[in-house]
Structure 1
C-alpha cells in the first residue's frame, strides 16, 4: 500500500488519523513462515533477503507464529537519521552474499516496522489500521537491527513540526479506520515531505525534448563556496509553469557562454553554459553526502539578489 502526496488532514478530523515518521529507505515486506526462515521482498517484488544478513535473526523472534510484516530498511548516519546514499551501498547485493556480509559490518541497516498483514494465520488486510497497529505493537519487535517506531494519534501539526526540527524527511498520515490496499496509492495514507529551500546560481541548462524542444528541460545550478568558486550542486528539472519555462529560456539564451562557470566542471553531457548571473530559489528534500541537492524543484527567480549574495555553507566534498 502506497501513500498519496498531500497535506495534513483538517484540524476537525485530526483525531481520526495516526502520524508516523516518513522514512527514507527501501520498502520491504517481511515474510516469517514460522519455520525459522525469513524472506524479504522489495516493492518491485524482487527478493532482497541476502542483501541484509544482519536481519536474519528476526526469523526466530516470533517462534512458530507465522507473520507478514511491512516496513522500511534504513541506513543511519552519525546523527541517527536515515541516509539514502548510505543505503545505496547496501542495495543490489542480494546476489553477492559475501559482499553483503562485508558491507553489513561497515554499514549496518535497521528495519523499521509499521504494519502487519498476517498474524497467526489470520489475514489482516481488511482489518482497520488502528487494530493492525495494536497487533503489531503487541509483538514488541525491538532488537539490535529492527524496531517498531511509535505512531501518534492526533497532534498532526505537532508531529510534522517535530520532524522538521529534527531534520527528518516528513510524516505519513494514516486514517485509523483504513484497510490495507496492496499496490494501491491510497488517499487513506497521505505523505508530507519536508522541503528545504535555498538560493542557487544558474550556471547552465539542458535542452528539453519532445514538446519542450527549444526550452530548458533542466537548469544546472551551483552555490558559492568560501573560496569564491561556484560549486555545482545539481540539476533542477521540475517546478515551472509553461510561461515561466518560456521566460527562463529567453534569459538563458541571453546569458549564453562557451565557458563553464562551475569549478570543477560537472560531468553533465550536453550541457549549455551561461554566465552565472541568474539567482533562483529551489526546494529540496536533503543533500547527498557530497552536498548535491536531492529531489530539487524550482520555486522562483530571485531578481532581488545578486549572485554574490547566494554564497552558502556547503557540506561534504563541496566545501
Structure 2
C-alpha cells in the first residue's frame, strides 16, 4: 500500500499552560533523540524518515522487527529514536554514534549491538485505511494504544491529562529534559510548528547555525576558542552572539575538523559583523546552546555549548 508522506508536527517553545487551562492539555515526557516518522505498509517492512524527510532506516537495523511485530497493520506513526543511559534517561550523545550510518549498514549493525536504539512512539497519523491527522489528540492516542506497541526496542509512553505543574516537577526531579504539552482537542498539523504543542524545557536552549569561529589561545591556537552563532530569520542568518564554553577536549577537536572542512572567505551573517580574527565558515553546521536570557537586541546571554545537531540542517530552522 502506498502510504502518504507526512512531515512531523513541531512544538513551539514556551511555558506551561495556565492553571485555568491545565485540564485541557496532555503532558508527555520530552525525549532527547532523533525525530522520526515511521511508515508501516503492512507487509512486515518498516521505513524510517528523519525530520528532514531523509530515509534513515538502514541506520537502525534493531528497529526493523517492528514491521513484523505489527503484521498486516498499515500505519504511519510519529516518534523519537533514543539511546538510553545507565539509569534509563535518553542520552543524545550516545545516540550520535548511531546517527548518519544509513549509508554504512555493516557499521550500523555493529553499533546496534553496543548502543541499542529505542523507538518512543507518541502519535498515530494514519491507521488501517485512512488518515488520523484531522482527529483530536485523544482519539489519535487511543488508536495508538490499540496497537499495543511494547517491546525491547519500542514503547508507547503514557501521558497525563492536566497536572502540568506536578508533571514538570517530576521530570525535573528525574533529571529529564522537560515536557511536551499537547492540547487534547488538537489535530495533527504536518510540518507546522504549532502552538497546540508546547515544549517546556528546564533550561533555555536554542538551535543555532555556526557561521565562524575564533582560535583559542596558546596550545589551543589551531582549535576553536569560540564559535560565532546565528539564527535564520526571513531567509538570512543573523548573528546572535558567541559561545566559548561547554565542550570537552574531544568535542573541541571534532568541531575543529568540521570547521576546517567548511572554511569560507565570506562572512555569512546579514548584516555582516566585524569580529577581529574571525574565521568564517559555510553556514551548514547546526548546534544547540543553553543560555540564561536574551538581550533586547536578541543576543544570547551566558551561552554554553550543549551539543552538535547532525540531525538538523539550517533549512530545518527556518
C-alpha spacing 1:79/1:196, structure 2 compared with 1 (3 Å)? farther
Q: Distance in 1 between matches of 2:51 and 2:136?
A: 22
Q: Deviations over 1:136-186 (max 9, x none)?
A: 012110011000000110000111111100000100000001000000000
- Which aligned runs of 4 or more in structure 1 are off by greater than 3 angstroms? 203-210, 231-235
Q: Distance in 1 between matches of 2:134 and 2:37?
A: 17
Match for residue 112 of structure 1? Answer: 120
CA deviation after TM superposition for structure 1 residue 296, in Å = 2.4
C-alpha spacing 1:103/1:209, structure 2 compared with 1 (3 Å)? closer
Q: So what's the TM-score if we normalise by structure 1?
A: 0.66
Match for residue 295 of structure 1? Answer: 289
Match for residue 314 of structure 1? Answer: none
- Is 1:217 equivalent to 2:225 in the alignment? no
- Is 1:126 equivalent to 2:120 in the alignment? no
Say which SS state the counterpart of residue 61 (structure 1) adopts: helix
Q: Which runs of 5+ in 2 are unaligned?
A: 1-8, 206-215, 218-224, 231-238, 256-275, 280-286, 295-318
CA deviation after TM superposition for structure 1 residue 194, in Å = 1.0
Match for residue 12 of structure 1? Answer: 20
Match for residue 178 of structure 1? Answer: 186
- Is 1:90 equivalent to 2:114 in the alignment? no
| Correspondences of 1:106-255 after superposition (within 5 Å) | 106-195=114-203, 206=226, 217-221=241-245
Match for residue 63 of structure 1? Answer: 71
Match for residue 76 of structure 1? Answer: 84
> Looking at CA atoms only, which structure, 1 or 2, has the larger radius of gyration?
1
In angstroms, what is the RMSD of aligned CA positions? 3.3
C-alpha spacing 1:46/1:209, structure 2 compared with 1 (3 Å)? closer
Q: So what's the TM-score if we normalise by structure 2?
A: 0.66
Match for residue 250 of structure 1? Answer: none
C-alpha spacing 1:37/1:17, structure 2 compared with 1 (3 Å)? same
Match for residue 62 of structure 2? Answer: 54
Say which SS state the counterpart of residue 183 (structure 1) adopts: coil
Q: Which runs of 5+ in 1 are unaligned?
A: 198-202, 224-230, 236-252, 254-267, 271-292, 301-319
